[in-house]
Amino acid sequence: MTRNLNDPNHRIGVESEHGDLHKLLELLDLEQVEDDLFIGQHPEQKTARTFGGQLLGQGLVAAGRTLTRGNPPVHALHAHFIRGGDVNKPMEYHVQRFRDGKAFANRQVTAMQDGAEVFTMLVAFQDNNAGLEHAVEIPLVPYPEELPPLGEHFKGYEEQVALFVNALHPIDIRFANDPTWKMKDAGETLTHNRVWMKTDGDLPDDPLLHVAAMAYASDTTVLDSIITTHGLSWGMDRLFAATVNHSMWFHREFRFDDWLLYATESPVAAGSRGIGSGRFFMRDGTLATSVVQEALIKYFPPRS
């Protein structure tokens, strides 16, 4: 059954048997209180501040629900994170309409709490038309069915990576290389990261929901290669990381309840900031999406 997230009177029908995917769909099911104002909630699993992927996903849904002419797919987003969100309060998404055309549309979405800006994002919508085509090739890695689920990587590290163990898990993640904590334990370094991702269950057919779910997932693992380049790990080293900005370009339509390979690397870290660059490849090798994230990242070495 097809559901249209752009219908302002629509509420997402949540039918998944997977509890955490059910929760993600609830997070993306924004309440519309005015034509250009939406309210988003936080999950029961509390973190120190609002997860950046949640802001990206909810912001995309808010922007998409205001389309009035045609239904062009999302082409790009460019987001800036201004301050940490309070996970004990709802988030207001204010949408500004910059352009409405049949083949093009542009929106600005600002997330606010208590009158202060938390996050702002430009979203561009554009029809996909025939033209020149080329793309880099998908890295050679094992298929996801040959790789263990994320929970297998937690065994023996439950205390060190408790934040990840206790987090929301609506995305099925299969590492093609060891995660940061296993590499740290083995004394290894790695300048890239390869991980298969898809939602942990089926999604409704609406393309906007698949884009929103990918945006949510894109904020995970993208910074890993910054720290594994230096032999460091989340949960095992004193690290502080906070996203500064995040951009995505959607080259082709895809389903995010099918496997995609998220191949990331870090071209630079300097000035207490680092960049993670990534690409989502479909299983057949087609490049679907490109991602760049910049984050404030600090390492506090142990005192000698």
Q: Across the 304 residues of the chain, what is the mean pLDDT of every consecutive 10-residue run?
A: 34 48 96 97 90 97 93 95 96 96 93 97 94 95 97 95 93 97 96 98 96 98 97 96 97 97 98 97 97 97 85
pLDDT of residue 1: 25
Cα gap 161→165, rounded to integer Å: 6
pLDDT of residue 188: 97
Q: Is the pTM of this model over 0.85?
A: yes
Q: How many helices (H) and strands (E) does the chain have?
A: 7, 12
| Interval 39-91: pLDDT, tens | 999 998 888 899 999 999 999 999 999 998 878 999 999 999 999 999 999 99
Q: Where are the beta strands (DSSP E) in 31-136?
A: 31-34, 37-40, 74-81, 91-100, 104-113, 116-126
219 is catalytic: yes
257 is catalytic: no
Question: For residue 79, what are the β-bridge partners?
Answer: 121, 246
Q: With contact defined as beta carbons under 8 Å apart, do 67 and 6 qualify?
A: yes
Kindly name the residue from 54, 199, 264, 293 that is annotated as catalytic. Answer: 293
pLDDT of residue 70: 79
Q: Helical H runs in 52-148?
A: 52-64
- In order of start, what are the domains of the chain with their CATH numbers? 19-127+183-299 (2.40.160.210)
Kindly name the residue from 50, 120, 160, 243 that is annotated as catalytic. Answer: 243
Kindly name the residue from 20, 29, 200, 219 that is annotated as catalytic. Answer: 219
User: 54: helix, coil or strand?
Assistant: helix
Q: With contact defined as beta carbons under 8 Å apart, do 300 and 175 qualify?
A: no
